[in-house]
Amino acid sequence: MAKFKFHTLAAIAVLIVSAIWVGTGQFSSVGSAIGKTESATETNAPTAKSTAVAPAAAAPLRTVAVIKPTFIDHDRTIRISGITQADKRVTLATRAAGIIGVLAMHQGDQVRQDGVLLRLDAEEKQAMLKTAKAVLEQRQTESDSTELLVKRGSAPKQQADTALSALMTARSQLEQAQAELNRLELKAPFSGTIDRVDVEQGSYVQAGAPVALLLQLDPIVARGEVSERDLAHLAVGISAEIHLISGETVAGTVRHISREASALTRTFPVEVAIPNPKGSIPAGMTAELTLKAETLQAVELPRSVVTLSAEGELGIRILKPDDTVAFIPVNVIDDTPTGLVLGGVPADARIIVAGQDLVATGDKVKAVEIDAATIGKLATQTTGSVQ
């Protein structure tokens, strides 16, 4: 019995000690705690510093290529689409009714101002004219005789006044007969080209009926419309180049700029006069008008240099004196085969021409200046950082 009690008590004691040991949580530090204690005893202050985490190394500055701007005098150009038109265009019509007796025009004929193009049969009108001339001669004789009698005192002055009135009436009738005869003739109001004939000789026409189309093609006029923004840069008399759809390029001069905008498009019609002595440029041909406006100071750069700001504004990136990046807006004056012509670039700017899309405003960068030969190559390369 005593032996049973001893074993029972021993088991209970072991159980209690195990429970206390587990409850303290020190079982996980067995071995490691001793190692740490010994390690701490053996290390000194310098060793403790070596176990601290070292700070991260600073990132290297990005390298970009820059140039100083070279300003040029550039003629601002405004390009618009247009169409050629005749300088003058008129539909010819008869002033009287009748049968066409003489048709002196054909399609394509070159005619001179006041040249007779058409004449209606005039037998009746010519007879009326002869009668009016005869009556006028008679009234002239009567007036002269009466005036002579009055001077001699053989006739009263009232009789001379009556004869003079009859003479004036006869003259008026002659002028009216001559006018009626003239109305039978159709003359060219200006020199030009007969583009269309709508009648045949011997046909009957009504008064006011259209019979032909007359065009004046020298000068020929190229007509287009400019926007509200471009209007201020134009003036009458500036030169222009006209690129015809046929491939021909001709020179002209701005002769008219409308002062009233189109109600639908808010654009202003512009006319360019082009010498066309041989009439080789027809009316109605599609054309591109290049108007040469005022001369501006500008910088020509590859298209890849121009970028957008965070707000979507078009511009370029430059370096400040402390080599930090800044963005400035620019105006695209012209688009040439070799690049963009830009206005609004400061004279002392250092323009980033490579790497500008890999940096942001305020970034600190390393700048490498390049020459004109290198900038020319950038026109055909993708923008990137300089290695």
pLDDT tens-place values along the chain, 387 residues long: 444 555 666 667 666 656 565 555 544 443 343 344 444 444 444 444 444 455 555 668 888 888 888 888 887 788 899 999 999 999 999 988 888 988 999 999 999 999 999 988 876 666 676 777 888 888 888 888 888 887 877 778 788 778 888 888 888 877 777 777 778 889 999 999 999 999 999 999 998 899 999 999 999 999 999 998 888 888 999 999 999 999 999 999 999 999 999 888 899 999 999 999 988 999 999 999 999 887 788 888 888 888 888 888 889 999 988 889 989 898 888 778 888 888 888 888 888 888 888 888 888 888 888 876 666 665 555 434 333
In a domain, 101, yes or no: no
**Does residue 219 have a cis bond before it (omega within 30 degrees)?**
yes
Closest to 353 measured CA to CA, from 381, 333, 329? 381
Same domain for 230 and 286, yes or no, is yes
Continuous H helices in 190-273: 228-231
CATH of residue 131: 1.10.287.470
In a domain, 316, yes or no: yes
In a domain, 246, yes or no: yes
Same domain for 317 and 288, yes or no, is no
Its pTM stands at 0.58
CATH of residue 301: 2.40.420.20
Same domain for 307 and 371, yes or no, is yes
Q: What angle in degrees, to the nearest 10, is found between the helix axes of 157-182 and 123-152?
A: 160
Domain C-terminal end among 135, 167, 182: 182
| Look-up of token digits 């701005």 | 254
Same domain for 132 and 165, yes or no, is yes
Same domain for 287 and 305, yes or no, is no
Burial class of 303 by CB neighbour count within 10 A (0 to 12, 13 to 18, 19+): middle
In a domain, 249, yes or no: yes
Same domain for 276 and 326, yes or no, is no
In a domain, 59, yes or no: no
Residue-range definition of the domain harbouring residue 237: 78-86+217-295
In a domain, 199, yes or no: no
Same domain for 282 and 228, yes or no, is yes
Same domain for 149 and 288, yes or no, is no
CATH of residue 240: 2.40.30.170
Same domain for 280 and 304, yes or no, is no
Domain C-terminal end among 295, 320, 348: 295
> Are 156 and 84 in contact, with CB atoms under 8 Å apart?
no
In a domain, 271, yes or no: yes
Domain C-terminal end among 269, 295, 321: 295
Same domain for 222 and 290, yes or no, is yes
In a domain, 47, yes or no: no
The structural domain count of the chain equals: 3
